[in-house]
Structure 1
Amino acid sequence: MTDTSTNQDTPPTLDIVDQGRGQSCVKLSGSWNLRGLLTAPDLGRKISSYAANKNIQWDMTPVDVLDSASALILWKAWGKKLPLALQLKPEHQRLFDLWQAQPPPESEPGGYSSSLAIKYVSQLLANFWGQLLQLVTLLGQLFLDMGYLLLHPGDIPWSEISITIYESGVRALGITALVGFLIGIVLSYLSALQLKIFGAEIYIIDILGLSVIRELGPLLAAILVAGRSGSSMTAQIGIMRVTEELDALSAMGISHSLRLILPNVMALTIVLPLIGIWTSALALIGGMVSAQNTLDISYLQFFLKLPDVVPLINVLIGLLKSAVFGLMIALIACHFGFRIKPNTESLGNETTNSVVAAITVVIMVDAVFAILFMNVGMP
């Protein structure tokens, strides 16, 4: 789109020619290209000042070379329309015809207005509502699959459930034991410092028993499983999307919910209460070790007093919470897994969203349980 018939090294020039009777003409000559404009930075200012006069004439016939960048500068200086008194070569006319037919897009003004903020919030709410409906649909499909399996027990995917229990439960015993043991030590040590002030060292058993069995054990296990196993489930489904395995299952008539969602949900619902008990037991052992060293409370005394200060209903509440945690973690992991598009960027984003959403929902559900069972199980 550049005329190269003449020498391109001629610098661009701008002259004012007096035509008499108060009429002036701006005469352009030379090579009006990007390289030439860089050698004469003051030309842009001159063009803008002369373009403010709508009655002035423009003569561009002496211009040897005109490129798109120079044409755009002139076009903007003229107010995005050609002057009435303009003389130019036909080959240069095509450049201005291009801008006149399709003007360049204007950049958006900086800053945020109230309308943009409202639009952003409305999009967030619409996205949240849409994902909530998808989760409810997923849960409804899960109940339909369970009803189908009750009528056709031979179709229960035992192998998938067993593999998920092993991957999400057995292989998580190490990390949950370590975290539970250390949390028990920290909680016992910090509580002992305060109980010593009031001479109430024996109440360390009450604090550890209620807090660990009822709250910390199930919550820690759920958070660890959400970060470890929930992300794995999401990534696994996402990789199946990328490798088109999901499309292959659909082509073979195999239900995604029956073979992928149901085994994950059932496995986590079964295994998470067991992991919660395991984490609580290790946390209590860590608390016992710390209490014996800091408060001189023997292991036997701890074991004998623990059933008296922690009613059995607290254990049942912890098991119920863990089962609900497992259900929600598996549902959220599968939900974000099926949202993954067939590219690696979406795989990473949705896996991260899955972990964040699962941990957030676990804490919210724990708060709901704390409110509902506020007066239940207290000695």
Structure 2
Amino acid sequence: MPPSAPNTAPTTLAAAPDEPVRVPPRVARGGEGAVVAQGQWTALAFSSRRDWTALADSLHALPKGDDAWDLRPIEQLDHIGAQVLWRHWGGAWPQRIEMDPPHKAVLEHVAQFTCAAPPDAGPTLADRFKDFAHHGPRALLLGRDVLRMIGQLVLDIGTLIRAPHRAPWRDLSGQLYQFGTTALPITALVGALIGVVLAYLMSNQLRNFGAEAFIVNILGLSLIRELGPVLAAVLVAGRSGSAITAQIGVMRVTEELDAMRVMGIPHGYRLVMPRVLALAVAMPLISMWTSMAALAGGMFAANLTLDLSPAYFMQALPRAVPLSNLWLLLGKSAVFGILIALVGCYFGMKVQPNTESLGRGTTSSVVTSITVVILVDALFAVLFRGVGFR
């Protein structure tokens, strides 16, 4: 066992007399709000991780817009230190700076040969071609599948017209009940609440101008022409569109679609066409029902807030809203129903045989259906902007 070392006092290493003491770079606040840079701003000083971290934290803590600097206390400045200062200044000289001539020469040299970051170049033709090669085929495949589904639907409707006795009437009636009848309570409730809210909000403004009677015009046009069909379509898209995707997706997971193909039962004729026809018939009726409920709620709120009797409301409504708005409601609602059913069937057919794909397809179906409904409604608003007004 080696003998224990004797207890000795710690030895302090001092620098040689001819070796300069290295002062780490630092910044501090001086008089008149100027930033004072001190120490040695050289590559050797920045080689110490501790010194560089402390300096970076100090520079980061300085408030933006420091336009007064004092570099005279710097003992030594090389191009590395000048580059640090120049980058901190953002590539521009401060408004007020004091420094010694040697430091000025180094900074001017760095400023002369330091180029600003080049602007981001736009995508070249090769980049655009690569982007199209990556995303283009997906869009083309999507367009092909949608066009194929629409074409198959047209052929199935032709088959239905030629041989109506072989049509899936039982499936169609079941879908009508599921998409139409069961949706009446929720659409009526939401429509009535929307009518009440609109009437209360508009009554406060109309009362200021003595135009209480015009609430019939505003409610009639807004609810029958726009809000009624769109609100009903959004509710049906979230309710029935997701159900269509989930039903067909579960059939994919349980391999029922494969069994139908083996048995020679066409998917489009037995799955897609009944749902499209059911929503095309049910959607105008649901929109009409929702608009009526919204008008009833608005009439009730107008009676409470503006003392407009229901008799006056019912009498003024036909004069305020031309009949063409009703036909526009029915037409656009039928288009909404067809699109919601097609989107739901498309995403249902694309579901992979796993539960994760089923949930993702259902979510995509609802989002896409609502987006398509809003886009088509905007298209109807542009095309029929001169229809339905006195």
Q: TM-score, normalised by structure 2?
A: 0.66
Separation in 1, partners of 2:172, 2:140: 31
1:233-271 alpha-carbon deviations (Å, 9 max, x no partner): 001000000000000000100010000000000000000
Instruction: Give 1:188's aligned residue.
Output: 199
Alpha carbons of 1:117 and 1:198: their partners in 2 closer, same or farther (altered >3 Å)?
farther
> Is 1:352 the counterpart of 2:371 in the alignment?
no
Alpha carbons of 1:248 and 1:358: their partners in 2 closer, same or farther (altered >3 Å)?
same
Task: Choose from 319, 332, 347 the match for 1:321.
Answer: 332
Instruction: Give 1:238's aligned residue.
Output: 249
Q: Secondary structure at the match of 1:351?
A: helix
Q: Secondary structure at the match of 2:246?
A: helix
Task: Choose from 224, 238, 257 the match for 1:227.
Answer: 238
Q: Secondary structure at the match of 1:311?
A: coil
Separation in 2, partners of 1:136, 1:153: 25
Separation in 2, partners of 1:120, 1:345: 28
Alpha carbons of 1:114 and 1:281: their partners in 2 closer, same or farther (altered >3 Å)?
same
* Offset of residue 120 of structure 1: 6.2
Q: Secondary structure at the match of 1:316?
A: helix
> Is 1:266 the counterpart of 2:266 in the alignment?
no
Equivalent residues in 2 for 1:24-173, closer than 5 Å? 123-173=134-184
Instruction: Give 1:18's aligned residue.
Output: none
Separation in 1, partners of 2:127, 2:356: 27
Instruction: Calculate the aligned-residue CA RMSD, in Å.
Output: 1.7
Q: Secondary structure at the match of 2:352?
A: coil
Q: TM-score, normalised by structure 1?
A: 0.68
* Offset of residue 198 of structure 1: 1.2
Separation in 2, partners of 1:223, 1:124: 29
Alpha carbons of 1:337 and 1:291: their partners in 2 closer, same or farther (altered >3 Å)?
same
1:61-85 alpha-carbon deviations (Å, 9 max, x no partner): xxxxxxxxxxxxxxxxxxxxxxxxx
Separation in 2, partners of 1:165, 1:348: 25
Q: Secondary structure at the match of 1:341?
A: coil
Separation in 2, partners of 1:282, 1:127: 43
Task: Choose from 282, 286, 310 the match for 1:275.
Answer: 286
> Is 1:369 the counterpart of 2:371 in the alignment?
no
Matched positions, count: 267
Separation in 1, partners of 2:189, 2:376: 25
Separation in 1, partners of 2:228, 2:331: 12
- The one-letter amino acid of 2:277's match is M
* Offset of residue 114 of structure 1: 6.8
Task: Choose from 182, 192, 217 the match for 1:206.
Answer: 217
Q: Secondary structure at the match of 1:177?
A: helix
- The one-letter amino acid of 1:238's match is G
Separation in 2, partners of 1:226, 1:249: 27
> Is 1:177 the counterpart of 2:188 in the alignment?
yes
1:324-352 alpha-carbon deviations (Å, 9 max, x no partner): 00000000100010000101111011111
- The one-letter amino acid of 2:385's match is M
Identical positions, percent: 54
* Offset of residue 117 of structure 1: 8.8
Separation in 1, partners of 2:271, 2:188: 28
Which runs of 4 or more aligned residues in structure 1 lie more than 3 Å from their structure 2 counterparts after TM superposition? 113-126
Q: Secondary structure at the match of 2:308?
A: coil
> Is 1:253 the counterpart of 2:264 in the alignment?
yes
* Offset of residue 136 of structure 1: 1.5
1:80-108 alpha-carbon deviations (Å, 9 max, x no partner): xxxxxxxxxxxxxxxxxxxxxxxxxxxxx
Q: Secondary structure at the match of 2:304?
A: helix
- The one-letter amino acid of 1:290's match is A
Separation in 2, partners of 1:151, 1:276: 31
Instruction: Give 2:301's aligned residue.
Output: 290
> Is 1:340 the counterpart of 2:351 in the alignment?
yes
Instruction: Give 2:227's aligned residue.
Output: 216
Unmatched runs of 5 consecutive residues or more in structure 2: 1-121
> Is 1:330 the counterpart of 2:341 in the alignment?
yes
- The one-letter amino acid of 1:354's match is S
Instruction: Give 1:67's aligned residue.
Output: none
Separation in 2, partners of 1:271, 1:151: 24
Alpha carbons of 1:333 and 1:292: their partners in 2 closer, same or farther (altered >3 Å)?
same
Alpha carbons of 1:194 and 1:117: their partners in 2 closer, same or farther (altered >3 Å)?
farther
Alpha carbons of 1:285 and 1:364: their partners in 2 closer, same or farther (altered >3 Å)?
same
Instruction: Give 2:310's aligned residue.
Output: 299
Instruction: Give 2:109's aligned residue.
Output: none
Separation in 2, partners of 1:175, 1:267: 19
Alpha carbons of 1:124 and 1:181: their partners in 2 closer, same or farther (altered >3 Å)?
farther
Separation in 1, partners of 2:127, 2:211: 54
* Offset of residue 132 of structure 1: 2.4
Separation in 2, partners of 1:128, 1:172: 34
Alpha carbons of 1:298 and 1:121: their partners in 2 closer, same or farther (altered >3 Å)?
farther
* Offset of residue 129 of structure 1: 3.4
* Offset of residue 150 of structure 1: 1.2
